[in-house]
Chain A
Amino acid sequence: MIGTLLGRWRPRPASAEASREARRWIWTIYAKETLETVRDRRTLAMMIVLPALFMPLATLGVPYLAERQQHQIQTVIPKVAIVGGSPAMMHLAAAAKLLAPVRVKDAAAALRSRQVLAVMEIPPRFEQIVRRGGQVHVGILYDASDPESTAARARAMALLSRYSQRIVAARLAARHVNPQLLRPLVVDQRSVATQRQITGSLLASLLPFFIAMWAVVGGMSVAVDLAAGEKERGTLESLLVTPASRDAIVIGKFLAVLTASMAAVVVVLIAMMVSLRWGYPYLLHTTEKIDVALPVGTAVVMLAISALFCALVSAIQLAVSTYARSPREAQQYITPLYFFTVLPALAVEFVGDWSHTAWAYLVPVLNAFFTFRELLLGTLDWGHLLLAAVACACYAALALRMAIALMSRESVVFRI
């Protein structure tokens, strides 16, 4: 089908007058479509209001809830049933405030009903065996599906570890052995990452996904309205009988979709930066502000790659909308495009090894996200950037050419 569509297209030589006229048509169509878009409250809500509200929720709301849960886990002392028992360990547990020891009749039932969050099973004659220098097996029961129970298990492990260290220390002392002999290495860890790099890593894990999501969502309703919507309203035929060429009609509409898509992406970027810069220290328990200010050069390149990515998405959406019989059908076709765009954005974190190979920068969608990562992490390779930019532009041009070819087919325009 693509071959048939493109086979009909032949580049035409254009005189200066024809070029001027084509630019006038494109501008007239673009201005009209943009005016209609701006006057459509639903589209504006999708394009600007929704991302402006959604981004603070996504960037702050989720970390806030995660931190709240962590805070609870760290500050609340979990109830742990200790079966069997060892006075020394009970004393250590109370002193270290790692867990609250509880006595229950049926420990497993108490764990299932969440009366306790974990159970420590201490065998009979525990302290006698330890005193004799023997080894004891201590059991821990917990619920792996419950984060609080898992945290209680960690605390029980910490308690056992401390107790174990005391025993070892006592045994070594009895044998006049310096405990330091068992710790030949002392590890001193230091990260060489700057605050910028840490912020870049945070942004690299968030931004590609949200850019992908809003590039599609921002332009979707406009693309559907401008082609399938025109068919349904009966305004397309009036447009096709004007002197404006099919190329000019599609390019004018494409620019309007691109504007909407790009506007949504810019709103997302601004909302996210503002949320991270001022929302993080306010909402979360961090003392330092996050430095999210991108260098001008990085921001410009980032916007340029975003524009190319939005161009690709917009051209595909417009081609699909042109092909569809109705807005409803267009929505159905565009929904899978959303998943095909967002999935690589999610996957990019886990296929970092591909980013070292040139071919990855030729893969549509994935190339833009690898480039975003490099930009944000400050590891930009200009060769990769060039490959990704050229590939994005070529794919967008191909999709746009398909939209023009579809708009020129009477069987598609009139669905006969």
Chain B
Amino acid sequence: MADREILVEADNLEKRFRGYHAVRGISLRCYAGEVFGLLGPNGAGKTTTLRMLTTVLRPTAGTARIAGHDVVGASAQVRRAIGVLPENAGVYGRLTGRESIRYTGRLHGVPPEELEARIERIAGALELTPHLDRLTETFSKGMKQKVNVARALVHNPPVVFLDEPTSGLDVFSARAVREFIDGARREGRCVIMSTHVMEEAEKLCDRVAIVAGGRVRAEGPLDELKARTGLELEEIFVQLVAQTVA
């Protein structure tokens, strides 16, 4: 790992809301060309952590840098370097799939000719091409999610955040999204995804952090975690979460 570029670096990130300590000092490093999984039950602090890293929430304490830019001091530069699929992301129902992706591309300043080529390429990879010119309000949930994944990557960002990317998708759509994430890794991007589906994490992630109660309970490459504990990922997850609750 030492020779690979660190694209995401968080130190003791904390977030308090009114009377609620959602994240209690999370630190992590993520590298170019890897898929990093944030695993945890509902309410563990995964989404809050991702929102701090994507600049929409301001950390109460701690620091984070994305592609070398501070998430608080240089939030504009951070947003240029990231692609984000937020949790429960919706679509613009009265835009077509192509228009939706183009909208995000334009906001990121992608030149028009290049943008159209990228839309075609990404839509092809996500098997969206035949539906690209239909209004997204007519799309299935899986197709809407694919449009949002395409929007997260249309500007070619080095760092991609995906919050529960396959949640609620059918087998085929989930598979297409997973293959796309794998492709993003091969292209050298740093992909950080949150999930509570262990099977998905095992298939996709190079390294994982198990988060519970707003803290990282275990972190490392999957094989190393398994070897260290002698347990399968799901068993490790259940035990760590149970300890936190206790």
Q: Taking each of A29, A234, A241, A245, which has the highest tally of chain B beta carbons within 10 Å of its own beta carbon?
A: A241
In A223-251, the 8 Å CB interface with B consists of 233-235, 237-245
Name the distance in Å between A13's Cβ and chain B's nearest Cβ. 14
| CB interface residues, B 91-119, toward A, < 8 Å | 91-95, 99, 103-104, 106-109
Query: Judging by beta carbons under 8 Å apart, are B82 and A35 in contact?
Result: no
Contact call A241/B79, Cβ cutoff below 8 A: yes
Measured CA separation A25–B76 after assembly (Å): 13
Establish whether residues A234 and B56, one from each chain, have CB atoms under 8 Å apart when the complex forms.
no
Pick from B57, B104, B109, B151: contact of A24, CB below 8 A: B109
User: Taking A21-B109, A244-B107 as contacts, is the C-beta distance between A234 and B88 under 8 angstroms?
Assistant: yes
Contacts of A342 in B (CB 8 A): none
Counting chain B CB atoms within 10 Å of each CB, the highest count among A32, A36, A39 belongs to: A32
How far does the alpha carbon of A25 sit from the alpha carbon of B86 in the complex, in Å?
21
From residue B16, how far is it (CB to closest CB) to chain A in Å?
A: 10
Indicate if B217 sits at the interface (CB-CB under 8 A). no
Within 8 A of B (CB), among A71-111: none
Option from B18, B80, B90, B92 in Cβ contact (under 8 Å) with A243? B80
Q: Which of A1-58 contact B (CB under 8 A)?
A: 21, 24-25, 28-29, 32, 35-36, 39-40
Whether the pair A237, B107 counts as a contact (CB closer than 8 A) is no
Interface residues of B in 196-224 (CB under 8 A from A): none
Q: Which of B58, B79, B92, B94 contacts A410 (CB 8 A)?
A: B58
**Which residues of chain A are near B93, meaning CB under 8 Å?**
233
The reply to whether B57 and A235 form a contact with Cβ atoms under 8 Å apart is: no
A278 at the binding interface (Cβ < 8 Å): no
Chain A residues with CB under 8 Å of B86's CB are 234, 237-238, 241
- The DSSP consensus for interface residues of chain A is helix
Using an 8 Å CB-CB cutoff, how does the interface string of B68-79 with A read, 1 for contact, 0 for none?
000000001001
Cβ-neighbour of A241 out of B56, B88, B90, B106 (below 8 A): B56
Judge whether A405 is part of the interface by a CB distance below 8 angstroms: no
Q: Does the CB pair A241–B84 fall under 8 Å?
A: yes
| Chain B 11-39 near chain A by CB (<8 Å), digits 1 or 0 | 00000011000000000000000000000
Does B166 interact with chain A (Cβ within 8 Å)?
A: no
Contacts of A35 in B (CB 8 A): 94-95, 99
A273–B151 Cα gap in the complex (Å)?
47
A414 within 8 A of partner (CB): yes
- Report the minimum CB–CB distance from A240 to chain B (whole Å): 5
Cα–Cα, bound, A40→B94 (Å): 7
A193 interface residue, CB < 8 Å from B?
no
Instruction: From the candidates A21, A235, A242, A414, name the one contacting B89 in the complex (CB within 8 A).
Output: A235
Residues of A within 8 A of B109 (CB): 21, 24, 243
Q: Is the CB of B90 within 8 A of A233?
A: yes
Q: Check: A413 CB closer than 8 A to any chain B CB.
A: yes
Q: Is the CB of A242 within 8 A of B104?
A: yes
**Distance in Å: Cβ of B14 to nearest Cβ of chain A:** 15
Contact with B along A142-184 (1 / 0, CB 8 A): 0000000000000000000000000000000000000000000
Q: For A28, give the chain B residue with the smallest CB separation.
A: B106
B173: Cβ under 8 A from any A Cβ: no
User: Are A36 and B107 interface neighbours, CB within 8 A?
Assistant: no
**A239 contact set on B, CB distance < 8 A:** 107
Flag whether B156 is at the interface (Cβ < 8 A). no
A242 to B51 Cα, complex, angstroms: 13
Whether the pair B107, A240 counts as a contact (CB closer than 8 A) is no
- Give, as a whole number of angstroms, the nearest-CB distance from A358 to chain B: 44
B107 lies within 8 A of A235 (CB): no
Does A238 contact B76, Cβ atoms closer than 8 Å?
A: no
Q: 0/1 per residue, A201-243, Cβ < 8 Å to B?
A: 0000000000000000000000000000000011101111111
Q: Are A241 and B55 in contact (CB under 8 A)?
A: yes
B49 beta carbon closer than 8 Å to chain A: no
Residues A243 and B107 in contact in the complex (CB < 8 Å), given A237-B56, A238-B86, A410-B56: yes
Can you pick out 17 interface pairs between chain A and chain B where the beta carbons lie within 8 Å of each other?
A28-B107, A29-B107, A36-B94, A233-B90, A235-B89, A237-B56, A237-B89, A238-B89, A238-B148, A239-B107, A241-B54, A241-B82, A243-B80, A245-B76, A410-B57, A410-B58, A414-B57
- The 8 lowest CB-CB distance pairs between A and B, nearest first, are A234-B90, A233-B90, A237-B86, A242-B107, A241-B84, A39-B94, A36-B94, A28-B106
